[in-house]
Amino acid sequence: MPNRHLTRGLVVAAPASASGKTTVTLALLRLLAREGRIVAPFKAGPDYIDGAFHRAASAGRPCYNLDLFAMRPATLAGVLDYGSAGAEIVVIEGVMGLFDGAVSSEGSTADLAAKLDLPVVLVIDAARQSQSIAALVHGFRSFRDDVVLAGVILNRVSSPKHEMLLRNALAPLGLPVLAALPPEGDLTMPSRHLGLVQAEERDGLDFFLDRAADWLHLHLDRAALEQLLQPLQVSRPATLAALPPLGQHIAVARDAAFAFAYPHLLQGWQAQGASLSFFSPLADEAPAPDCDAVFLPGGYPELHAAKLAGNGHLMQGLRAAADRGAAIYGECGGFMLLGRGLTDAEGNRHAMAGLLPVETSFAERKRHLGYRRITSLADTMLGPKGSRFRGHEFHYSVQTGGKDAGAALFMATDAVGAELGPSGCRQGSVFGSYLHLIDREG
């Protein structure tokens, strides 16, 4: 196992979303893993979907989120320490543009790189520019003294002449061009309303990852890449205890409809002594009959509403867990499953578990997106009334009924403190909301 103190890393960022940084990150992870390097992947920000691709590219090594806005410093350090243990190289994929954050640049990829003292590799979509790229790179390089832009990868370079123009323009800056990548039509990544189509739903994923690795390998300056890697430093104190466990034995829903669970939360529950078991609602599996808690993460129940509604064993198992007083907590998609009914995109209503007096609809779409500051309105297994958390919200479905029934679970504000009002619902030992909790606050 590599010496912990020799773990080195870098951050892959971009000037803006859709520049190709996810494809480049996956190509780099697969290339390193294929060569036998022990590589630990991380994703900046609250994204769930990219992490599953990272795991597939990294020979099954879990990808953990690093979130400066939503995580306490000790939690971020604990996640980084746990996720990088035994690794030779750490690769962190940024979020959005390099300096984009929740408030001003707070929580941005740049903030994360500066805090971890890791170099940034900037992936630039060069398709519609030539000499102007020098001004862009100069601006990003000089914008903040505490962010080290160590190299660039030029994406969508159309021809050898285009590459020559780009390299000549960048030469006076003295910044390594690690690769000039031509467009590859078969390296597209299909998406849907919440992001990329999930890794487990992607046919031929290993072929795609190997093609991406081959593409990068053909054009990458490996020596320059190795030279810019910097040692990873983990600050102390560090903890994985982001949220208290829901119970001693927590049954966790896990399949294509309920895949949005942060790995650091699950690992944190285990670190605090809880045991986890997993079940698939789509396969009509019920939570373990001896569990004292059930966690229903977010995902895509709206795409599988008819199937879920017909899964009697699942529904009976959830109701039985509620009847015996097990804590049942649902986030976003899990919250929708706990309600009375879910209306799909075509306007068809499907009966759900009926454990919370709410109705949700994907037919009446409205985007809800952003970080949240959250205060609990009641005692739950997550903590006493008044407990404060940070989290994230991203969904297009809406709550259409039951807003006045039952009791609200949380009060929420956005990242800048604007009031968003009550959120979620609780009834007996069952509770949930559209919010994804990331960590306690304070």
Cis peptide bond N-terminal to 237, omega within 30: yes
Q: What angle do CA 120, 124, 129 make, to 5 degrees?
A: 145
**Cα–Cα distance between 369 and 381 in angstroms, integer?**
26
The enclosing H or E element of 191 equals strand 191-192
Which residues, listed in sequence order, are joined to residue 256 by a DSSP beta bridge?
Answer: none
The CA–CA distances, whole Å, from 178 to 24, 158, 251, 305, 345 equal: 12, 17, 45, 46, 45
Residue matched to tokens 């997550």: 382
**Could you tell me where the DSSP H helices lie in 332-389?**
333-338
**Cα–Cα distance between 215 and 220 in angstroms, integer?**
9
Q: What angle do CA 63, 143, 112 make, to 5 degrees?
A: 20
**Cα–Cα distance between 360 and 397 in angstroms, integer?**
7
Sheet of strand 430-433, all strands in order from the earlier edge strand to the far edge = 275-279, 249-253, 293-296, 327-331, 430-433, 425-427
**Cα–Cα distance between 259 and 269 in angstroms, integer?**
17
The CA–CA distances, whole Å, from 345 to 86, 160, 302 equal: 45, 47, 8
- Contact (CB, 8 A) for 438 and 389: yes
* DSSP notation for 292-303: SEEEE-BS-GGG
Handedness of CA 63, 66, 72, 76 (dihedral sign): positive
- Contact (CB, 8 A) for 158 and 128: no
Chain-centroid distance of CA 17 in Å reads 15
Q: Choose the catalytic residue: 63, 291, 332, 425.
A: 332
**Cα–Cα distance between 103 and 91 in angstroms, integer?**
25
Residue matched to tokens 């690794």: 87
Query: Is-catalytic flag, 425?
Result: no
Q: Looking at the annotation, which residues are catalytic?
A: 332
